[in-house]
Amino acid sequence: AGGPLTVAALEQGDIDVARMFTTQGIILDKGWVVLEEDRPLVPAENVIPIIREEVLTEQVARVLNQLSAAITTEDLTELNKLVDVDKEDPEAVARQWLRDSGILDEG
């Protein structure tokens, strides 16, 4: 689902509808329409941070909670587009989003 064969088939007009992941940047890049699921085929797949206990500090937990509360599906789609389609550096993209969201303050 949503892989290169699916993308190619959509681009070539071989198919009109495909199962993809909502946050795939190619959807935004191509201007494709995301259909509303009135009978969800797949349950929500929320982003969940995973971290080793030995590196988890109160500060890290606070930042992860801020991130979790702030990021939207639209944000994640745009970030994925910047990295996957526009080939921007993932660390730079993430750092800029964190700055823009007020989560990261590097002075």
How big is the chain by its Cα radius of gyration, in Å? 17
pLDDT given for residue 2 in this prediction: 86
pLDDT given for residue 47 in this prediction: 81
Helix axis angle, 73-80 to 90-100, nearest 10°: 150
pLDDT given for residue 107 in this prediction: 57
pTM of the complete model = 0.73
pLDDT given for residue 40 in this prediction: 76
pLDDT given for residue 51 in this prediction: 92
Q: Which residues of the chain have pLDDT under 70?
A: 107
